[in-house]
Chain A
Amino acid sequence: MFLTLLSKEIREHLLTFRFGAALITIVLLSIISTWILGDNYIIRKSTATRLADSYLQQAREVRFPSQILPNVQRPPTPLSIIAQGEDYRLGNTVQVRRRSVPHEADDNLTKNRLLASIPSFDMMLVLMFSVSLFGILLSYDGFSGDRERGTLKMVCSFALKRSGIFASKFFAGSIVLSIPILISFIASLMVMLFFHQITFSAIQWAAIVVMLLTAILYGMLFITAGLLSSVLVIRSSTSLAIALLFWTLVVVVIPSGSNFLAPLLKPAYSPEEINSKLQASSLELMQQREEFIRTHNISFSSNGGDWEGAEGLWWFDGYPSWLEDWKTFFIFYEPLCQRYAENIWDLRRKHLARKIEQRELSFAVNFVSPAFHLQRAYTALTVTGYESHAEFMEKCRQYRHTLLNTFAQKGLFGKNAHRFFTRWELSDFERPEQYEQRLAERRAKGIWGPQIWDPLPEDYVPPFNYESGKPNIEDALWHIVVLLFMTLIAFSAGFVIFFRYDVR
């Protein structure tokens, strides 16, 4: 009897305009978003590859440790076609410098930072809005509609328990809503595999399967919500009102409102604090530099900028007295700059910690929103959430420490400080004619500037080990469990209320 009722419900749903509309809308929007984002991914990927090659080339061209400013990047993941997360606006490339701690990434892939204000459009967004909406529209009149038509009385007169009737409506709605979800996943994957020639690893395939199941679970939750609103009242127009109000609140208002309210309840620190600290540090550094130059009678004058063999392309091709002075100055100035960089990072970290608190508060308010859980599950599975970006930034900071340690081990902040910006040794100047001769030999070959030297040995630049793109299934599971729990609660509530429902 249960199966008969189930198949009848499925047949009825399949014949409705609502189902046709859901099918066309979900599949069409999914294909459009995948198609365009697939193209976008191909462009981003090729740009990332091109940039990686140019960074490698730059690293090979380095003649002095002062030129070592490695660019490290986070390549785009193919799963970002399904959900772009926060990743697309947080940047992907970091230039690791000695005198500043990495705190933000440059965006060399999306190119236009002015677009950060325009929300992304991906398959996750399509599913978030359309699956929930059609879930509601498919089920809002499940009982109240049957009651109005007079068919509910008849169904209840069959030899089937109310639990069976409720379950048949629930499963029928869920199966029917799963059809467009399944087709949209298949169609989108076909677009990615055949038109964009994208390949996925085994774990990425597993993530895609989990995403499909999550979307179905999300749809089931809204089917249950629709049925629940249907058993709460006797008129289908009122149940539609309740269901749509619920949808508006949990899919539209609460996620937007929580982001909106979190900064009000937990205000961020003023950026002016960092700005003034940066300015004050710059002034202090300038004063200390001038003071040192004056007291140590250094033979070059400094007038600001960043040119004392520091972070850039400066190299030394001068005279022994200059070399000594530069070395003395560098040993004093470099640790000072690094200390200032750490102090500013401490301040930035305090600001970031407050932003994370805001984020947690927003997430706490959002806990009641299934749309939020779908979004977080998808960003964890596609590795496009803020968490993965933060992990990358942490790797960059660790890499900077490794780089500084490498320099320190080579004595570049101490006894070998002159090697930071020159390949000459003091002994080279003991016989000036030899120095001049060597210089002349190279210049005779038409080689000028730093190019007169061979590139630095590779051990000066430690490798940057970062592996991205591994889906975080564990994080996603937590949100999926919450979705499941919500579905069970809504189902149980609907089930209990239906027991007391007056079918007359």
Chain B
Amino acid sequence: MFTIIKQQVIDGLRDSLFLFIAVVVLLTFVVNGFVFSDRYHVAREDWERHNANTIEFLEARTSNLTVLARYYQTMVKPASTLTFIANGGEERLPNSYSVNAFLYVNPRLQNRGNETLPDFLIIDWIFIIGIVLSLQAFMLGFRAICGEKRDGTLRLLMSYSVSRWKLFFGKYVGYLTILLVTFALGASINLFILNVTGAMQFTSTTLFVLGWTAIVSVLFISFVLLFGIAVSSMVRTPAVALVILMIFWLFAVIAVPGIARIIGENAMQVPSESDVSQEINLARSEIWDNSKEGAGAWYGDNEYRFTQAARNRAEVYQAISASIQNIFNSADKQRIDQAVLINTIASLSPYGLMSDALQRLTRQGIYGYSDLKEAARRYQQQLYSFTKEKDRIDPDSPHNLYHGVERGGFSTKPVELSSIPRSDVLWQSGGLLGDLHVPWMHMVMLMASNVVMMLVAFIFLLRYDPR
């Protein structure tokens, strides 16, 4: 069998098409390294500048706890070191939240992305592995069996004492070896560039992600190769095999993810911005309608601040804040669920499955957005606890903490800048929020796909007529 493996490696390396695409793979890895390194540094610089500015703007409000608590800070998600693996369309997803002590709302896009550019794919590892390397795997696989038949060498091989399973594994292992060598070479150059330029350090987190990314990539490449060999074992001419493989490629890479989006949008309706605003306005009116006596009027004098009417008014505002947050969270959850549903539907294609697995692993795309939302929630709670604590120790405060325009509900005493919680410390050094999770379900599905495709390919080869 080793002879067959060796022969396949040599054949593959002699093949002009394979070498052409291998050069494209290496080039895209190099481009990926330089571009993402630049992007990372620029985004990191912007993020640090933003945090410095935020401190400056917080400082301008430290003279009054009420003003500080109600001031909406823009909390920005830091650049991730792992975006070169799975970009997840981060240029077009909101990366910031407006947070104060009472609410975390208004996710917005605040980066150097360019919305005027047309839609094309981003050259991340998903692109390189899922598109370029998979094409390379097809180029090897499509002639594996029917090509040998056309050249008349299959009969010759069969006439030796080589069993069909040895032939199958010889071809599979030989081709997989050269594909993985191309991948490993490109990935090493890519990681070298990123490491030398300081865009990525080999920490335990990045090594964890890289390790699992390698496993997902190997499983995907192996599946694509097995599919190529299976198709090659089903048909009699390489041209037909190639056409079938290219159609599969079109469906897997272009059609299924695109159709998934449209199906997801139609299958799960989410509220629009105007629906959310309308709901908030209705809730606000309802709360005011049901408010207790005296809540409607504000008399700014000191005596009023300690009355039951002032407390009633505070209750109204607290209820409005809670309502706004609930309505907003509910709408946002529906949007996240819709995006996850689309990713799940797209996972019907091996490309979508691999893409979703890597986005989950690196916490990019919709998963990165979920992390941002979680960070905003945590930070809002920190700010609220901080405000509550500072207000508690102020003897002149009526302790009616609420979000409104009036001053006097709670403490207006100055606070120290250094004591104010900061949002930037929530994030780990690599731009991640918390623990990383292995997408086990995706791994199992990729492994199962490999086993099934291996069986299919082998069965077809067993039945293949070499004449």
Contact = CB atoms under 8 A, between A and B. Distances in A.
Interface of A: 17-18, 21, 25, 29, 32-33, 36-37, 39-40, 43, 47, 51, 54, 85-86, 89-90, 93, 106-122, 125-126, 129-130, 133, 137, 141, 237-238, 240-242, 244-245, 248-249, 252-253, 255-264, 267-272, 275-276, 279, 283, 301, 303-305, 307, 352, 355-356, 358-359, 362, 372, 375-376, 379, 385-386, 390
A468 B283 CA distance: 36
Given A114-B339, A130-B250, A244-B135, A256 B127 contact: yes
B297 interface: no
A160 to B, nearest CB: 26
B28 interface: yes
19 contacts: A32-B255, A37-B262, A86-B119, A106-B273, A107-B272, A117-B366, A118-B261, A119-B257, A120-B119, A137-B242, A141-B239, A237-B143, A241-B16, A244-B135, A252-B131, A262-B117, A271-B111, A303-B67, A304-B70
A176 B441 CA distance: 44
A183 B400 CA distance: 70
Contact of A51 (B34, B244, B274): B274
Contacts of B434: none
B342 A118 contact: yes
A35 to B, nearest CB: 9
B254 A125 contact: yes
B336 A114 contact: yes
B270 to A, nearest CB: 5
List 5 tightest A-B contacts by C-beta distance, closest first.
A121-B258, A117-B89, A241-B17, A268-B112, A116-B92
A129 B254 contact: yes
B243 interface: yes
B46 interface: yes
Residue of B31, B34, B45, B336 ringed by the most chain A CB atoms within 10 A: B31
A261 B243 contact: no
B117 A257 contact: no
Given A33-B259, A270-B112, A275-B53, A117 B17 contact: no
A268 B111 CA distance: 9
Given A111-B272, A279-B57, A253 B93 contact: no
A248 B135 contact: yes
Contacts of B20: 241-242, 245
A272 B49 contact: yes
Given A260-B122, A270-B45, 17 more contacts: A17-B239, A21-B243, A93-B274, A116-B89, A117-B365, A119-B261, A130-B250, A240-B242, A245-B20, A248-B21, A261-B35, A263-B114, A267-B42, A270-B46, A303-B405, A359-B116, A362-B117
Q: Mostly helix, strand, loop or mixed at chain B's interface?
A: helix
Contact of A303 (B35, B107, B132, B406): B406
Interface residues of B, number: 89
Nearest to B364: A117
B462 interface: no
Contacts of B143: 237
B388 interface: no
Residue of B15, B39, B113, B254 ringed by the most chain A CB atoms within 10 A: B254
B164 interface: no
B112 A18 contact: no
A225 B406 CA distance: 71
B266 interface: yes
Interface in B71-117: 74, 88-94, 107, 110-117
B214 interface: no
Contacts of B369: 114
B366 A114 contact: yes
A36 B262 contact: yes
B92 A245 contact: no
Contacts of B244: 21
A359 B93 contact: no
Interface of B: 15-17, 20-21, 24, 28, 31, 34-35, 38-39, 42, 45-46, 49-50, 53, 57, 60, 67, 70, 74, 88-94, 107, 110-123, 127, 131-132, 135, 139, 143, 238-240, 242-244, 246-247, 250, 254-255, 257-259, 261-266, 269-274, 300, 335-336, 338-339, 342, 365-366, 369, 405-407
A256 B53 contact: no
Contact of B88 (A117, A119, A372): A117
A58 to B, nearest CB: 11
B120 A256 contact: yes
A72 to B, nearest CB: 14
A86 B67 contact: no
B366 A386 contact: no
A120 B120 contact: no
B46 A355 contact: no
A121 B262 contact: yes
Contacts of B42: 267, 270
Contacts of A362: 117-118
A259 B89 CA distance: 13
B127 A118 contact: no
Nearest to A50: B274
Contacts of A36: 259, 262-263, 266
B243 A271 contact: no
A102 to B, nearest CB: 15
Contacts of A264: 34-35, 38-39
A18 B35 CA distance: 38
B111 A108 contact: no
A112 B53 contact: no
A275 B34 contact: no
B339 A112 contact: yes
A380 B221 CA distance: 38
Nearest to B406: A303
Nearest to B235: A17
B93 A117 contact: yes
Given A133-B246, A249-B24, A121 B259 contact: yes
Contact of B115 (A86, A110, A240, A249): A86
